[in-house]
Amino acid sequence: MKTKFFLLACFFCSVGLMAQNMNNVRIAGFTRDNSRKFIHVPNLMGYKTLKCDFHMHTVFSDGVVWPTVRVDEAWQEGLDVIAITDHIENNPSKKFVGGDDNSSFDIAKPHADKKGILLIKGAEITRKMAPGHFNALFITNTNELDTPNYMDAFEAAKKQGAFIIWNHPGWKAQQPDTCKWWDVHTELLEKGMLHAVEVFNEQEYYPIAFDWCDQKGIAYTAASDIHGLVQNQYDLNKQHRPMTLVLATENSESALKEALFARRTIAWFGQYLAGKEEFLREFFMASVKCNLMSENTKEKVYRVSNISDVPFLLKSADGVSIKIAAYSESMVEIPLTSNGTFEVTNLFIRSKKNLSAKFPF
């Protein structure tokens, strides 16, 4: 009897082995699935909040990745919009890769279309200070911006309908001891050739640039200026890359362009937001909800939910500190002696002005 069972088992085993391909066996689930993270930010004031990074490089200037990699990174991280902004005047890879100043966009565009990432055509005008470095977005032919005189490059960009951002104004390689607004920046502003500034770039921010945005009516932006892989620069398990949130009527190039020229932006970097007071207030109020849970003779206890990936750090003039954690619920105790007025210390309108808000929100 035992022998019969043994023979039967051998028979079924051999049938199983025969069914298996001996040449090539793929292990299901062994490689990373092609999933996309959600970035949690509220839509505001009837607009869609687009998550955008308008500054990055590829092998077509001094970056180290192929243009399609930038699209895959943006897809995985949950971004809606990117602009590849290779340096026009600085291309150390030129002797190894062919093409012209339009190549990185031309290579990435079909891949971006396939993945549903809005790829904006851009380039970095790369000059010594002053005026410094600028990203021109929505251009149509990058080669026309490659001119000996920098003002001719700005003229060409303007003629193509560009939205122009002053990049990393306080970068120490160009302004080692200061972050100065030069006369040429006033000239560019007056000629309609300067529309925004990076208040944050890669890993640093320039508080004085918040004041420029407020005083000169230019848009707040934040960008990665990534040259290597995003995952090597930022810990994506704990944070998002820096980005500009744009309040647009829809996710399309024309709506994005309209929103940028209307300056409907918020710069987001780490736990900080910088932007116009009305947009920061809307963002805060749309993110946070308070529920009173209990009350005694000393304090009120609230459960505060936050649907955004931005934490909120609050401090009152009478010394009460509150942390509302990102995308979670927090228990918050407010002493009855508190008048309920708080500064949101990680939300900047100007270098020395935070958003203020009255509790309960």
Our finding on whether 111 is near Zn ion (CB under 5 A) is no
* Least Cβ distance, residue 57 to Zn ion (angstroms): 6
| Closer of 163 and 279 to Zn ion (Cβ) | 163
| Closer of 225 and 309 to Zn ion (Cβ) | 225
Our finding on whether 198 is near Zn ion (CB under 5 A) is no
Our finding on whether 211 is near Zn ion (CB under 5 A) is no
| Closer of 133 and 264 to Zn ion (Cβ) | 133
* Least Cβ distance, residue 196 to Zn ion (angstroms): 14
User: Interacting stretch for Zn ion, rule CB under 5 A, among 31-39, 120-128, 192-200, 229-237?
Assistant: 120-128
| Closer of 57 and 276 to Zn ion (Cβ) | 57
Our finding on whether 70 is near Zn ion (CB under 5 A) is no
Our finding on whether 133 is near Zn ion (CB under 5 A) is yes
d(CA 56, CA 53): 8
Residues paired with residue 88 on neighbouring β-strands, in sequence order: none
Q: How many CB atoms sit inside 10 A of residue 314's CB?
A: 25
Q: Among residue numbers 6 through 25, which ones bind Zn ion (CB under 5 A)?
A: none
Q: Enumerate residues 6+ apart whose C-beta is below 8 A from 10.
A: none
Residues paired with residue 313 on neighbouring β-strands, in sequence order: 323
340: three-class secondary structure by DSSP = coil
Omega before residue 242 within 30° of 0, cis: no
d(CA 304, CA 328): 8
The string of DSSP codes covering 40-74 is ----BTTBEEEEEE--B--TTTT--S-HHHHHHHH
Q: Choose which of 89, 225, 282, 309 interacts with Zn ion (CB under 5 A).
A: 225
| Closer of 85 and 308 to Zn ion (Cβ) | 85
The contact set with Zn ion (CB under 5 A) reads 124, 133, 167, 225
